[in-house]
Amino acid sequence: MKTLIITCVLILFFVSPCFCKRLLLASSNTYNVIYYGAKGDGKTDDSQAFLSAWEKTCATGGSTLVIPSKGTFLLKKNLMFKGPCQATNIQIQLHGKIIVPTQKAWQGNDSPIIMISNVNGLTIDGTGGLIDGLGSSWWSCESCKRPTVLAFHACNGLRVSSLSISNSPQAHIHINGCEGATFSNINIKSPGDSPNTDGIDISSSKRVLIKDSHIACGDDCIAIIGDSSDINATGIACGPGHGISIGSLGRNNGHDNVEQVYVYNCTFTRTTNGARIKTFKDGPGYARNITYEKITLIQAYNPILINQHYVGLEGVGGVEVSGVTFRGFEGTSGDDRAITLACGSRGCHDILLDKVNIKSSKTGKAAACSCTNVHGIATSTVPSCHGIYK
């Protein structure tokens, strides 16, 4: 009887090796998309295989979803990796390449290409992998609703490392409703003229750390909006792009509250903005307790910018801006506009400029500071800011 069982197993192995590999991986709680039908040939739609592998991963405790290194996986439709999961700790190993088709061949909608929702304790390791949104086929279509590549919603305790994303049709990464998230060694790359291709958008989230990353895109390298607090961006190389921004806040009279933001040891290289706070002219809410510190500037336009009438004519400045520190800025601006603090009639309060040294990269043009309705203090600041009231 024992001999018969061994014989049957050997026959099964030779007849269906894929089945045996799939069975072996499942027994170790590791789910490789190849063994759920993914071809990885860059031509076949692997969307369903990814979803099938995710369902098994989510349903099993302590699971790992594997996108292997030897393969280019085409996604023609949106993926929803949805929780809550039975597994308390899930890993995704993204070691291969994921691509999407051109805009005309895309079979999904304008939702994120990959949405991960309500999955706590998730770890993503992108070592050696890449998600390429092939956005160039979308960017020229101004009327097209374009998808973000990767979005996280209500994922607490999230850890994402060594992830590379390029050429998103729209934003590259969106973080919404998450608490306790860490993103490290993220590499985002899109042309500087690609429209609205934000690097990382953060909304309604708390305790988010983004560190040691390079972001090149056609819009904000990082944008913080909604009800967000305790956001830390450290060691970010931004450029090209529109800087690291708070806002825009108060759009369509929406109530946005952003506080406790710390941007430290970052570099802006030939960006259209650097450290920026932007609000709509009459929207409610506040931006407070915000610090930009130890910032290196390389021909960055608008290195320090507060704009309380971001769209439309000048207003009263409905979004309260207070407790903002710009400290330890060093380098060059793209032109003579080094510091622009344009606040509404209610004013911005408790604004501190300290140890700022910005020179114009334009020959014969001295760097300048422009202030409107600003209450605060400037110490050891070049260029001098004479329009700040204590």
**Exposed / middle / buried, residue 366 (Cβ in 10 Å: 0-12, 13-18, 19+):** exposed
Smallest CA-to-CA distance from 351 within 362, 360, 359, 340 is with 340
Is 21's pLDDT higher than 50?
no
d(CA 189, CA 149): 12
pLDDT band of 11, cuts 50, 70, 90: very low
**pLDDT higher than 90, residue 6:** no
Of the candidate ranges 157-161, 172-176, 240-244, 310-314, the one whose mean pLDDT is the lowest = 310-314
Predicted pLDDT of residue 317: 53
pTM of the model: 0.92
**Interval 64-102: pLDDT, tens:** 999 999 999 999 999 999 999 988 889 999 999 999 999
**How much is the pLDDT for 312?**
57
> How do residues 32-70 score in pLDDT, each as one tens digit?
999 999 999 999 999 999 999 999 999 987 899 999 999
- CB neighbour list of residue 366: distance below 8 Å, 6 or more residues apart: 336, 360, 383
What value, to the nearest 5°, has the Cα angle with vertex 305 and ends 302 and 311?
Answer: 100
Whether 172 contacts 190, CB under 8 Å: yes
Domains located in the chain, CATH noted: 231-390 (2.160.20.10)
Q: What is the per-residue pLDDT across 355-364, written as a single tens digit (0 to 9) for each?
A: 999 999 999 8
Report the sign of the C-alpha dihedral through residues 17, 18, 23, 24, in that order: positive
Torsion from C-alpha of 307, 313, 316, 320, nearest 10 degrees: -30
Q: Is the pLDDT of residue 7 over 50?
A: no
How far apart are the C-alpha atoms of 112 and 108, rounded to whole Å? 9
Residues 6 or more apart whose Cβ sits within 8 Å of residue 144: 103, 138
Higher pLDDT pick, 193 / 345: 193
| 150-153: strand order across its sheet | 79-82, 114-117, 150-153, 173-176, 200-203, 222-225, 244-249, 275-279, 304-307, 337-342, 368-372
Query: Which pLDDT tens digit goes with each residue over 330-353?
Result: 999 999 999 999 998 889 999 999
Mean pLDDT for the chain overall: 91
> What angle in degrees, to the nearest 10, is found between the helix axes of 2-15 and 17-27?
110
Say how far apart CA 324 and CA 146 lie, in whole Å.
34
Checking if the pLDDT of 249 tops 50, the result is yes
The answer on pLDDT for 132 being more than 90 is: yes
pLDDT reading at 310 higher than 70: yes
Which two structure tokens, joined as six digits, stand for 15? Answer: 């007849």
* Residues with active-site annotation: 219, 242
Question: Over 50: is that where the pLDDT of 19 sits?
Answer: no
